[in-house]
Amino acid sequence: MLFNSIDFAIFLPIVFVLYWFVTNKNLAAQNLLIVGSSYVFYGWWDWRFLALIFISSLVDYFIGKGLGKEEKKLNRNILLWTSIAVNLGILGFFKYYNFFVDNFITAFSFLGAEIQPNTLEIILPVGISFYTFQTLSYTIDVYRRNLEPTNDFVSFMAFVSFFPQLVAGPIERATHLLPQFYSPRKFDYPRAIDGLRQILWGLFKKVVIADNCATLANEIFTNSGELSGATLALGALFFTFQIYGDFSGYSDIAIGTSRLFGFDLMQNFRFPYFSRDIAEFWRRWHISLSTWFRDYLYIPLGGSRGGTGKKIRNTFVIFIVSGFWHGANWTFIVWGALNALYFLPLLLANKNRNHLDIIAKGKYLPSIKEFLLMTSTFVLTMVAWIFFRAENLEHAISYVSKLLLAPHTYFSLGTYSPYSTTLILVCFFLLIEWLGREGNFALSNFGKNWNRSLRHAFYYSLIFMIFWFGGKEQQFIYFQF
């Protein structure tokens, strides 16, 4: 079920009414309603994959209980690795089976051996990478004794399958989200209104920015061999804003929807395109995943402690694994490695934590130095996104080569109305994001001091733009991950 669909527009009010007006006096009933609603939400795509969520929930619930009772280190390790094997085994089969088979065939063909193993027509379950990592965080935190195991299976199922963030995050930690299912929730009108504002901005990002950029980016990337370097630059720019509007838009809708039901989710994006270096970008982009890899992979490997060799190794491991998490394609791995190359000089020079606060805080404009740093970081990120978007490595290399080396035929945007209209919308979007960059999301502080009529007029104008400028409906990019 898509957030930007008629189905969800009907589904959400029904669940909201049942939650606050029918089950509001019974916490267990509310949690059971969340589980049932979440399974309906996910099963809307393909009911067969509900079994995977249930198996993952069942396995980690009982492993958590076992870890709570077990004191022997060997037995605790066995329980932990059972959870890891089951969860990553399911994820690996559905997401990476054919990737490894295809590369196995390619490797042997270089040696002159012809083999024909069986590949399978595997349908990738929507959002499997997200809920797999979410339930793994529970097992690992219980193992580390950072969290007491739950005895409430319904609450645990609600934590794993919570429908606002089930499909594309944020990837919540059990230490943060699970305890919220134990406490009675009371309807909070200001919180709900704030949630609606965030949903509105998320829909604007998705429908107006991401979907319009997607149409043009898809056209340019598909026909990249026939287009000028200037047009390819526009294609990379459109995809850069497509993926941000699409993914952060989903997170905004998820967080805002959760607030309607009395839950707080972690912030997943902090205006990443206003970053002054790549390290800052990764503190602001897909925060729930980057912190997950930091806490459960990077730090256990030694983090930035130790010699230069270990720092380099750990940096490449974290970024390449992050790339591979996104999908079974070498383009994602190269994208991860490229970001590691961007990040490494900052780490080795101990400059990776230079920019911890928002750019130009308390000011309307950045300094010249800040502007140049922000622009250079944006360009590096945009180049990396080309590898992320390309069909394969050959396509990515061809695209970048032509972008850098081919003659740039400049054209008048007036002759390309879809381009000019979308660029104007992107500029408007960037302006609102810039003015609201000190809040948790763009509209949380934007217009806060306006009178009520003006503020509502602005919100209604956004709703009008969603209906008037909304692009062709596109599935959320991160559903495929």
* pLDDT interval class at 115 (50, 70, 90): low
| pLDDT at 404 (0 to 100) | 82
* pLDDT interval class at 465 (50, 70, 90): very high
108 pLDDT more than 60: no
105 pLDDT more than 60: no
Clarify whether residues 264 and 389 are in a common domain: yes
- Tell me which of 165-174, 269-278, 371-380 is least confident: 165-174
Predicted TM-score (pTM) of the model is 0.91
- On whether residue 214 sits in a domain, the answer given is yes
Clarify whether residues 224 and 360 are in a common domain: yes
- Across the range 54-68, mean pLDDT stands at 94
Torsion sign (Cα): 332, 338, 342, 347: positive
Q: What is the DSSP string of 91-117?
A: HHHHHHHHHHHHHHHHHHHHTT-----
Clarify whether residues 263 and 137 are in a common domain: no
Kindly report the length of the chain: 481
315 vs 129, 320, 334, 377, CA distance in Å?
Answer: 21, 9, 14, 18
- On whether residue 399 sits in a domain, the answer given is yes
- On whether residue 348 sits in a domain, the answer given is no
- Final residue of a structural domain among 119, 152, 184: 184
- Final residue of a structural domain among 152, 184, 216: 184
- Across the range 6-27, mean pLDDT stands at 93
100 pLDDT more than 60: no
> Are the CB atoms for 129 and 481 separated by under 8 Å?
yes
- On whether residue 298 sits in a domain, the answer given is no
140 pLDDT more than 60: yes
pLDDT tens-digit profile of 284-327? Answer: 999 999 999 999 999 898 888 878 888 899 999 999 999 988 88
Question: How many structural domains comprise the chain?
Answer: 2
414 pLDDT more than 60: no
- Across the range 34-52, mean pLDDT stands at 90
- Tell me which of 133-142, 263-272, 303-312 is least confident: 303-312
> Which is catalytic among the residues 286, 326, 355, 395?
326
- On whether residue 310 sits in a domain, the answer given is no
Clarify whether residues 207 and 146 are in a common domain: no
Clarify whether residues 169 and 203 are in a common domain: no
Clarify whether residues 13 and 146 are in a common domain: yes
C-alpha to C-alpha distance for 239 and 220, rounded to whole angstroms: 10
Clarify whether residues 41 and 178 are in a common domain: yes
Clarify whether residues 234 and 362 are in a common domain: yes
326 carries an active-site annotation = yes
pLDDT tens-digit profile of 141-198? Answer: 999 999 999 999 999 999 999 999 988 879 999 999 999 999 999 999 999 999 999 9
Q: How many CB atoms lie within 10 A of CB 397?
A: 14
334 pLDDT more than 80: yes
Clarify whether residues 85 and 196 are in a common domain: no
- Across the range 395-402, mean pLDDT stands at 92
**Angle, helices 6-17/229-260, rounded to nearest 10 degrees:** 20
Clarify whether residues 138 and 11 are in a common domain: yes
- Final residue of a structural domain among 164, 184, 204: 184
Clarify whether residues 80 and 59 are in a common domain: yes
| pLDDT at 195 (0 to 100) | 95
Domain that holds residue 392: 190-276+355-480
Clarify whether residues 123 and 195 are in a common domain: no
- On whether residue 303 sits in a domain, the answer given is no
- On whether residue 462 sits in a domain, the answer given is yes
| pLDDT at 416 (0 to 100) | 57
- On whether residue 471 sits in a domain, the answer given is yes
| pLDDT at 407 (0 to 100) | 56
C-alpha to C-alpha distance for 41 and 43, rounded to whole angstroms: 6
Higher local confidence (pLDDT), 177 or 46: 177
**Nearest one of 180, 156, 150 to 58, comparing CA atoms:** 156
